[in-house]
Amino acid sequence: MPEARSWQFSWAVERWRAVPALHLPVVSALVGLAVAGGAVTAAGPWDSGQRTAERERAVASGRTGGEDHGEGRGGRSGRAAAGDAPPATAVLAALGAAAPARSPDPVPPPTRAGLADALAPLLKDPALGPLRTASVVDATTGKQLYGSGAGTASVPASTIKIATAAAALDALGPDHRIETTVVEGGGDDEIVLVGGGDPTLTAREGKGPDGPAGLRTLADETARALKDRGRQKVELAYDTSRYAGPAMHAIGPNPNIAPVSPLMADEGRLDDSDSGPAPRSADPAADAARTFAELLRERGVDTEGDPHLTAAPPRSERLAAVRSQPLSALVERMLTVSDNDIAEALARQTAIAEGEPVTFEGAERAVTVRLKKLDVPLDGARFADGSGLSRDDRVSAGLLAQLLVRAADPDRPELRPVLTGLPVAGFSGTLRSRYADAPAGTGMVRAKTGTLTGVNTLAGTVVDADGRLLAFAFMTSKSGDGRAAQSALDRLASAVANCGCR
C-alpha cells in the first residue's frame, strides 16, 4: 500500500481490532443509512474509545434485507449521489473499519478549485451570519485545500473543546487518571475527602470496572481501612484546595455547568441525568461530602456533625482512593455529548501539568502553551474557558482544522481521542439528530458542534468521495436562525463528503 495512505489504513485496522468483531455476513448485507433507525445504546456513544454503539446500530440496519446499496451510482468512486444514503462499506470505514482498497495508487486530494466550486456557493447561504469562515485541510499533508477567512478568529462556542482536549492529551497523555482520595486529617478522629478534579466521580450504582470512579467504592475502601484500625466514629472534612480562584463560570449559575470544583459527584446534577442541561448544586463539593458521610454511615462508620471544609495536612496518610477513567475516555465523553464540566476540569488538569495557577486564567495560559508546542496557528486565539460557554473565546477555522490534522498524525497517537470522540453524523452525541437535510454526510462526517445564541460552528473530519481523509472547520456568527444555520453547516460538511472535486 502506498506510504501516503498506509497510516490511514493501519489506523482503521487498529480501531477495528479494538472492538468486538462484526459478523461478516451481516456486514455484507448492510443497507444504506436511510433505513437505519433506533437510538444509540444506553451504554452511551463512547465506550473507552471503542464506539460500540455505532457499529451495533449499523448491524441492526443490515437485518432488513439485501437491497441494492446504491454502490456504483452517482458520485465518483461509487459514492451515492447527494440526497442518497452512502454505501455501507463507506459508513463502516468512517466508523473505524477498513474499507476495501480502491486502488494501488495513492488517493489524490481534492483540488482547491474543485472545493471552491462545491463550497463557495454554500457559504453564501443567507442562513449563515455575516461572519462566515471556512478551512478544509488534507489530513495527510496538513496542506489547506480551501479557505475563506480561515485565519480570522471568532467565537467558537463548543468547538473550542477540540483545543481543550488536544492540550490536555498533549500535557498529560491518554492514560492519565484523576484520583479522589481519603486521608487522615489534622485531628485525632478527622478524615478528609480530597477532591482531585474528577467531575465524573459518581455517587450512583457502579457501571462495572471500566466505568467512572465511584463514591460508593471509595466509601467501601474507607470503611474497611477505618475498621482495620479499630475506628468506627470519625469527623469528616473535605478539601477543595486543588483549584483556586472563583468557582463560578462567568455566565453565572446555569443548567449547562456546575460551579467548577475539584470535588463533585455526578457533575453536581440534582436529577438522574448524565448529560445535557440539568439543575445543578450551588455547592457541589459540600453536597458530595454529605453524600459520602451518608455512605460511610451505611457501612457502619458514624460521622459526627456536618462535613466541614479544610485543607488536608501535607504528607497525610492515605486511607483510600479511586481513579477516574483514563483521560482518553474523558475526552471522548466530553466531545461526544459536549460536556462542559469535563471540559473545565481538563483545562485545569492542563494548568496543573504546566505549573500554572489552577484558575480560569491559569488554565488559559496552560492551554495556550501546549497548543504552541503543537505548532498550530494561534493568531487572535483566546481560551477564556475550556468549554466554549464564554463569548470571550476566540479561535480561527484554520486553528481548529490544524488541531484535527495533529490528532490524525500517526506520530502523535496520544492525540487520537480527539478524533475518536467526535460525534458521528446521524449516529451519536450532538450530531445524532442532524443531517436529515444533508444525508450525504450521514455516517461520513465526524464533527464537534458549537452553539451559542447567534453562534454556530462545526469542525471535524470526513472521508471524501475518493477516500481521502480531510479535516474541516466552518464557523458563523450573528446568524438569526440557529436551526437554519446548523443545517447550512451540515450541507457544507456533506458537500466535502460527497466531493471528489477535481
Catalytic residues: 158, 161, 338
Q: What is the spatial distance between Cα 128 and Cα 120, in angstroms, rounded to a whole number?
A: 13
CA neighbor of 338 nearest in space, from 255, 455, 423, 254: 423
Three-state DSSP at 68 gives coil
- Long-range Cβ contact pairs of 200-204 (< 8 A, separation 24 or more): 200/267, 200/324, 200/325, 200/330, 200/333, 200/342, 201/263, 201/264, 201/265, 201/266, 201/288, 201/322, 201/324, 202/265, 202/266, 203/265, 203/266, 203/288, 203/291, 203/295, 204/266, 204/272
Other Cβ atoms less than 10 A from the Cβ of 248: the count is 14
Strand (E) or helix (H) holding 302: strand 302-303
Q: What is 319-374 written as a DSSP string?
A: EEEEEPSPHHHHHHHHHHHT-HHHHHHHHHHHHHHHT--SSHHHHHHHHHHHHHHT
The C-alpha cell 436529515 sits at 436
Strand (E) or helix (H) holding 114: helix 112-123
The C-alpha cell 448524565 sits at 274
Q: What is 79-94 written as a DSSP string?
A: PPPTTSPPPHHHHHHH
Contact (CB, 8 A) for 58 and 97: no
Grid cell in block for residue 469: 481523509
Amino acid at site 344 = E
Strands 233-239 and 190-194: parallel
**β-sheet bridge partners, residue 394:** 382
CA neighbor of 4 nearest in space, from 118, 136, 143: 143
Three-state DSSP at 64 gives helix
The C-alpha cell 439543575 sits at 279
Contact (CB, 8 A) for 368 and 379: no
